Amino acid sequence: MSEKKQFKTESKRLLDLMINSIYTHKEIFLRELVSNASDASDKLYYKALQENINGISREDMDIFLSIDKEKRTITIEDHGIGMDHDELEERLGTIANSGSNEFKNALEKGVDNVDIIGQFGVGFYSAFMVADKVEVFSKKYGEDKAYAWVSDTSDGYEIFESGLDHHGTKIVLHLKDNTEEENYDEYLSQYEIERLIKKYSDYIHYPIKMEMTVSKKKEDSDEYEDVTEVKVLNSQVPLWKRNKKDITEEEYNDFYKSKFNDFTDPQRVMHNRVEGNITYDSLLFIPSQVPMNYFSSEYEKGLQLYSRGVFIMDKAKDLVPEHFRFVRGLVDSQDLNLNISREMLQHDRSMKLIADRIEKRIQRELEDMLKKDREEYVKFWKNFGMQIKFGIYHSYGMLKDKLQDLLLFYSANKKDYITLNEYVEAMKEDQKDIYFASGETVEKIDMLPACEAVKDKGFDILYLTDNVDEFCLQMLRDYKEKTFKNVTQGDLNLESEEEKKELEQKTTDHKDLLDAIKEALGDKVVEVRLSSRLKSHPVCLTSSEGVSFEMEKVLNAMPE
């Protein structure tokens, strides 16, 4: 029995966009469907390993493509885990993938430039960029019944029982009619399909096969004849297994964008092969912009984990430390036990060794960037510097030695970001402390009366504008034996002995006035006193040692 169902509102919007898309890179539909087929094969292979199911080998799990020129269809067939009735409904009826989620967010924010479509990993729905009818036949591994999911409009879809003689999924795309602008027939060319697989899906580690008609020379004759043969289109060598020097920047970028659903090239690529105690390949990326969901609970840190090219898990969170949670990428190691459960992996010694190396690798990359390419580093810092500062804070300073030299702060003198080391190097002979001031913006801090006296002495001040900054400095306690001093807090000890005496004298002279002000202000202040920290301003507020004004603000704003 067939049931007609409606798409969820957001899916309908995404579909409408796909159907009416004028996006020029429609060809990515093939990449998306092939990668789904590969994911489904991975899932089955992994299940077989976990549950010791015999008779499932990777060699049997090919992905088969076929073209029917008469019917104008393209078929993509896999022998993966398949979907049952409810899964067809849930997974194809709603926007599932994280890429499309970001896309959805973009839509909600009112971005309606359809040109960005293909840059998100929009997954299954991208089929509707080239097809006006999509049929999905699927049989879940271990079940008897197969079902079809069919849709030819953005209004809805039907699900009904249908035949499929193997577990896995078969997707049939009915190509749209050609228009003046768009010739969909190009996807009916076997060479075009071959080209697209080579371009986008070469590294997929299952053979992608297609029956191809090729012209062959007849034996004992000069004549040629058309023969059909099944050809494997992809090399199946994952990008990370290839030699670094043979990989172009564009290949890395394309790989990153399609795998991690980003639409901008990464800022940095780290590709390494490590041999020794433990052997692995790692391919890591620093994004060049903050992912849209980075500050939401939706964002999960972690690296993809492979063992001998077999996908094991998506977000192995123990592989990257919290302070580098922005790094995306993957690790492939032959030293990992494939049968190990996900929970066990956490305590696995090899995993710990890898995680340790990965952390050092990222650290080295950042140090290197800071040293050799300040402009790039500042860009990185604006994106993810917060994470490093949180790292110091959350570790109660345990990460001080590792991270302190990666920190940047805005310098009043330089009017630019500087490192703590640069601050200390530029310190005046008579300067003992590292001064800082906090506020909402650089401009606002610049106007703080309390900064004046320090600047007057020619001492630099670090301007702290992030909530975490002061907490971070507090955890550091000092840098190269210089303590951090808040210009609005406590005694700055900037005066000479003479000036101090003068101040004492003045205080005695004006005791009555000071007492009167204290009385008028009552409990609002602890003390009213004359200060030498002021130059052109009549008064300023300061706090005693301990929690500063800015920290108090942050603490008050925190949920209980």
Q: How far is the CB of 37 from Mg ion (least distance, A)?
A: 9
| 489 near ligand ADP (CB under 6 A) | no
| 73 near Mg ion (CB under 5 A) | no
The crossing angle, in degrees rounded to 10, of helices 28-50 and 190-200 is 60
CB under 8 A, 24+ apart: contacts of 267-273: 267/376, 267/379, 267/380, 267/383, 268/365, 268/369, 268/380, 270/329, 270/361, 270/362, 270/365, 271/240, 271/244, 271/247, 272/361
Question: How many C-beta neighbours within 10 Å does residue 187 have?
Answer: 22
Distance between CA 489 and CA 503 in Å, rounded? 18
Binding test (CB under 6 A) with ligand ADP, winner from 118, 123, 385, 449: 123
Distance between CA 439 and CA 448 in Å, rounded? 9
Question: Which region among 36-44, 127-135, 384-392, 542-550 touches ligand ADP (by CB under 6 A)?
Answer: 36-44
Distance between CA 139 and CA 146 in Å, rounded? 4
Binding test (CB under 6 A) with ligand ADP, winner from 14, 15, 28, 37: 37
Q: Is 36 annotated as a binding residue?
A: yes
38 versus 411: smaller Cβ distance to Mg ion: 38
Binding test (CB under 6 A) with ligand ADP, winner from 7, 64, 124, 255: 124
Q: Is 228 annotated as a binding residue?
A: no
Of Mg ion, ligand ADP, none, which one sits near residue 169, judging by CB under 5 to 8 A according to partner kind?
A: ligand ADP
Distance between CA 205 and CA 232 in Å, rounded? 12
Distance between CA 215 and CA 77 in Å, rounded? 26
Q: How far is the CB of 183 from ligand ADP (least distance, A)?
A: 26
Q: Is 522 annotated as a binding residue?
A: no
Question: How many C-beta neighbours within 10 Å does residue 1 have?
Answer: 5
125 versus 435: smaller Cβ distance to ligand ADP: 125
Q: Is 122 annotated as a binding residue?
A: yes
Of Mg ion, ligand ADP, none, which one sits near residue 83, judging by CB under 5 to 8 A according to partner kind?
A: ligand ADP
256 versus 436: smaller Cβ distance to Mg ion: 256
| 40 near ligand ADP (CB under 6 A) | yes
Distance between CA 14 and CA 75 in Å, rounded? 23
169 versus 489: smaller Cβ distance to Mg ion: 169
302 versus 397: smaller Cβ distance to ligand ADP: 302
Identify any residues that bridge with 307 across adjacent strands, giving them in sequence order: 310
Sheet of 280-286: strand order equals 268-274, 280-286, 328-333, 303-307, 310-316
The crossing angle, in degrees rounded to 10, of helices 374-394 and 349-372 is 140
31 versus 301: smaller Cβ distance to Mg ion: 31
Question: Which region among 34-42, 47-55, 71-79, 319-327 touches Mg ion (by CB under 5 A)?
Answer: 34-42
3-state SS string for 264-290:
CCCCEEEEEEECCCCCEEEEEEECCCC
Question: Which region among 120-128, 135-143, 247-255, 341-349 touches Mg ion (by CB under 5 A)?
Answer: 120-128
Of Mg ion, ligand ADP, none, which one sits near residue 467, judging by CB under 5 to 8 A according to partner kind?
A: none
| 93 near Mg ion (CB under 5 A) | no
From residue 16 to residue 35, what is the string marking binding to ligand ADP with x (rule CB under 6 A)? ----------------x---
The CA–CA distances, whole Å, from 340 to 181, 336, 351, 450, 453 equal: 53, 8, 12, 60, 63
Cβ distance 8 to 15 under 8 Å?
A: no
Q: How far is the CB of 324 from ligand ADP (least distance, A)?
A: 24
Sheet of 478-479: strand order equals 416-418, 409-411, 461-464, 434-438, 482-486, 478-479
| 36 near Mg ion (CB under 5 A) | yes
Q: Is 98 annotated as a binding residue?
A: yes
36 versus 350: smaller Cβ distance to Mg ion: 36
| 97 near ligand ADP (CB under 6 A) | yes
From residue 145 to residue 184, what is the string marking binding to ligand ADP with x (rule CB under 6 A)? ------------------------x---------------
Of ligand ADP, Mg ion, none, which one sits near residue 40, judging by CB under 5 to 8 A according to partner kind?
A: ligand ADP
Q: Is 359 helix (H, G, I), strand (E, B) or coil?
A: helix
Question: Which region among 35-43, 137-145, 256-264, 498-506 touches Mg ion (by CB under 5 A)?
Answer: 35-43
Q: Is 169 annotated as a binding residue?
A: yes
Residue count at the site for Mg ion (CB under 5 A)? 2
Distance between CA 197 and CA 218 in Å, rounded? 29
Least Cα distance to 311 among 34, 39, 49 occurs for 39
Alpha helices in 68-176 (DSSP H): 85-93, 98-108
| 123 near Mg ion (CB under 5 A) | yes
Burial 164-178, CB ≥16 within 10 A → b, else e: beebbbbbbbbbbee
Both structure tokens of 1: 């029995």
Cβ distance 287 to 267 under 8 Å?
A: yes
Q: How far is the CB of 121 from Mg ion (least distance, A)?
A: 7
Binding test (CB under 6 A) with ligand ADP, winner from 27, 62, 78, 460: 78
Cβ distance 494 to 455 under 8 Å?
A: no
Q: Is 467 annotated as a binding residue?
A: no
Q: Is 342 annotated as a binding residue?
A: yes
Q: How far is the CB of 99 from Mg ion (least distance, A)?
A: 8
Q: How far is the CB of 26 from ligand ADP (least distance, A)?
A: 16
Q: How far is the CB of 201 from Mg ion (least distance, A)?
A: 12
Question: Which region among 33-41, 322-330, 365-373, 458-466 touches Mg ion (by CB under 5 A)?
Answer: 33-41
Q: Please report, as ranges, the residues that interact with ligand ADP according to CB under 6 A.
A: 32, 36-37, 39-40, 78, 80-83, 91-92, 96-97, 123-124, 169
Q: Please report, as ranges, the residues that interact with Mg ion according to CB under 5 A.
A: 36, 123
Annotated binding site for ATP: 32, 36, 78, 83, 98-99, 119-124, 169, 342
